[in-house]
């Protein structure tokens, strides 16, 4: 019986480590999500777009860019230009007002209007940005900071809780 308990404990520790490794990092690397299915992602276009997003955020005191959404006049909607794969974002609305969401939370939001950018919008899980100048919003950039606490995926959280409960009972038996 002791061998089964040890084996089970070792298995759970390995599963917990796998869950932690599986949990996406806040930095995010991987395949970009592009605005249309017909676009083929390339390393250079993704890197360029992510670098532009990072620069916009760094200019306003943030550590990195999460996503950039650009207004498309032909489609009369915002289209995703680049997004870190560890985040899920959306932007909808008009050039005068746009609603946004971000999972995990954004630290702040920047809008670009004409030739200037404005940072007057707090971050969080969602919000609304509004036009501040004479020209409409041409892009919405969501920004992040490294000191934000990353969220566990449900799988990693379940593994961690299960492992803790099982470890408690195995240690209690001794």
The pLDDT assigned to 98 comes to 93
Partners of residue 77 on adjacent β-strands: 72
User: Positive or negative CA dihedral for 59, 25, 162, 3?
Assistant: negative
Q: How far is CA 14 from CA 17, 21, 81, 130, 173, in A?
A: 5, 10, 38, 48, 21
Q: What pLDDT does 125 receive?
A: 93
- Cis-peptide, bond into residue 71, ω within 30° of zero: no
What is the maximum alpha-carbon separation in the chain?
75
Total Cβ atoms within 10 A of residue 129? 20
Structural domain boundaries of the chain? Answer: 2-23+153-173, 43-144
For the chain, how big is the Rg over CA atoms in Å? 21
Q: pLDDT digit of tens for each residue in the chain (174 aa)?
A: 556 667 666 766 666 555 544 434 433 333 333 333 334 445 567 888 888 899 989 988 999 999 999 999 889 999 999 999 889 999 999 999 999 999 989 999 999 888 777 766 788 999 999 888 888 899 999 999 987 555 556 666 777 777 777 777 777 776
Distance, in Å, from the CA atom of 107 to the CA atom of 87, rounded to the nearest integer, reads: 13
């Amino acid at each position: 019986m002791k061998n089964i308990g040890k084996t089970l404990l070792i298995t759970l520790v390995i599963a917990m480590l796998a869950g932690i490794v599986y949990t996406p990092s806040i930095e995010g690397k991987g395949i970009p999500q592009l605005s249309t299915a017909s676009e083929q992602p390339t390393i250079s276009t993704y890197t360029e777009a992510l670098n532009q997003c990072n620069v916009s955020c760094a200019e306003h005191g943030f550590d990195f860019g999460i996503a950039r959404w650009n207004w498309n006049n032909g489609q009369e909607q915002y289209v995703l230009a680049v997004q870190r794969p560890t985040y899920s974002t959306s932007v909808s609305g008009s050039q005068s007002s746009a609603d946004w969401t971000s999972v995990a939370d954004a630290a702040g939001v920047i809008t670009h209007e004409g030739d200037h950018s404005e940072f007057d919008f707090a971050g969080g899980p969602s919000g609304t940005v509004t036009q501040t100048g004479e020209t409409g919003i041409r892009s919405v950039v969501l920004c992040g900071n490294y000191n934000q606490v990353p969220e566990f995926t449900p799988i990693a959280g379940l593994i961690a809780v299960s492992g803790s409960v099982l470890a408690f009972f195995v240690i209690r038996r001794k």
